Amino acid sequence: MNLKKYFPIRGLLGRVTGWVKAVDGVSFNIYERETLGVVGESGCGKTTLGRTVLRLIEPTEGIIIFDGKDITKLNKRRLRSLRKDMQIVFQDPYWSLNPTMLVKDIVAEPIEEHIKSEKAEERVVELLRLVGLPEDAMWRYPHEFSGGQRQRIAIARALSTNPKFIVFDEPTSFLDVSVQAHIINLIKELQQKLNLTYMFISHNLGVVQHISSKIAVMYVGKIVEMGLVDQIFEEPLHPYTQALLDAIPVPDPDVQKGQVLLRGRVPSPEKPPQGCRFHTRCPYKMEICTKIEPQLLDVGKLHKVACHLIS
């Protein structure tokens, strides 16, 4: 709730001269077996949000409730005991796997650290089969696999401790289009089979639509719209959401798109605009937008939007 993550800007002699407000007052709920898709342009704070929720980086302010417990102030020892329940799959499968380790050891490492099972090797075989890899893959190194296969190994590693919650940080953006669908389908199948809860971060709205149950749209550290998948795709209310949807390519030359055209650059999170952060690019800007920041308000049926046009 009201989660913030500010990074200091240091000048001469290491003095703090300002703050990059990567995540600036974000609140949302993810219920069991749900998938929250988080979308937005590069630099909007999606990845920082995901890592802050897991406390891979420490929040500047706010509260994180996991499984009914406030984990925001837990010390390292108590947080470590919860790590097995919270996992992450990173964006780049070429850098997220240690190239000097066998796949067997990569997948078994979290088991040995958190579960300390004597049957770690048996569990590795089971996990590799679960993600669609043969048993003999355990005796090979990451460089011997394709990008899609490496991401399957990363998913197996994330599953190794029987987690309840997984953050997927753009897990398909480094993969060929032909492979992306297989990985997305695998992620969906695993959720149904293992009763998992996901946060799925992506700039690809088509992927997010396919996998998510609800969506949060971020812009310069803020959530500007949030709702169920059908609400966001069929009744988008925020001009930024409308622009993102209009930018989705359609393989039909007769389909007319581009009703909301974005101009200008995304503002810096170091010095976000006063008022609505989107007003510098919004075609419907009003005077109030330049002075007062709109609040994320419930407009009915779990649909929320932060826009003076709606409020």
Q: Can you tell me whether residue 9 is helix, strand or coil?
A: strand
Put the strands of the sheet holding 35-39 in their side by side order: 86-89, 165-169, 197-201, 35-39, 214-219, 222-228, 303-305, 297-300
**Backbone φ, ψ for residue 55 (5° rounding):** 60, 35
Tell me, what's the pLDDT at 253?
Answer: 62
Cα radius of gyration rounded to whole Å, the chain? 21
Pairing of strands 222-228, 303-305: antiparallel
Q: How large is the average pLDDT for residues 171-194?
A: 94
- For residue 270, how many other CB atoms are within 10 A of its CB? 14
| Domain annotation covers residue 283 | no
Q: Is 282 part of any domain? A: no
- Give the model confidence (pLDDT) of 185-208 as tens digits: 999 999 999 999 999 999 989 899
Strand partners, 65: 70
State pLDDT tens for residues 241-281: 999 998 877 665 666 655 666 777 889 999 999 999 999 99
Q: What is the DSSP string of 264-289?
A: S-PPPTTSPPSS-TTTTT-TT--GGG
Average confidence score pLDDT of the chain: 93
In a domain, 274, yes or no: no
Could you tell me the residue range of the domain that residue 152 belongs to? 31-266
Judge residue 60's burial from the number of C-beta atoms within 10 Å of its C-beta, 0-12 exposed, 13-18 middle, 19 or more buried.
Answer: middle
Nearest partner of 224 among 27, 60, 68, 86, judged by Cα = 27
**Taking the CB of residue 284, how many other CB atoms lie within 10 A of it?**
13
As a whole number of angstroms, the distance between CA 131 and CA 153 comes to: 8
Into how many domains does the chain fold? 1
pLDDT confidence band for 116 (50 / 70 / 90)? confident
Q: Hey, is 212 helix, strand or coil? A: coil
Is the pTM of the predicted complex or chain greater than 0.85? yes
Instruction: Taking residues 29-43, report their average pLDDT.
Output: 95
Q: Is residue 23 part of a domain?
A: no
Distance CA 29, CA 216 (A): 11
9 confidence band (pLDDT: 50, 70, 90): very high
Looking at residue 179, which CATH number applies to its domain? 3.40.50.300
Question: Which amino acid does the sequence have at 2?
Answer: N
Q: Whole-angstrom Cα distance, residue 134 to residue 142?
A: 14
Q: Are 138 and 120 in contact (CB under 8 A)?
A: no
Query: What are the helix (H) ranges across 58-145?
Result: 76-82, 103-110, 120-130
Looking at residues 153-175, what average pLDDT do you find? 96
Q: How high is the pLDDT of residue 259? A: 60
| pLDDT-derived band at 66, boundaries 50, 70, 90 | very high
pLDDT score of 186 = 97
Lowest mean pLDDT among 75-89, 109-123, 143-157, 264-278: 109-123
User: Does position 282 have pLDDT exceeding 90, yes or no?
Assistant: yes
82 Cβ contact partners less than 8 Å away, ≥ 6 residues apart: 66, 71, 74
- ∠ CA 231-242-186, nearest 5°, is 60
- Asked if residue 143 is part of any domain, the answer here is yes
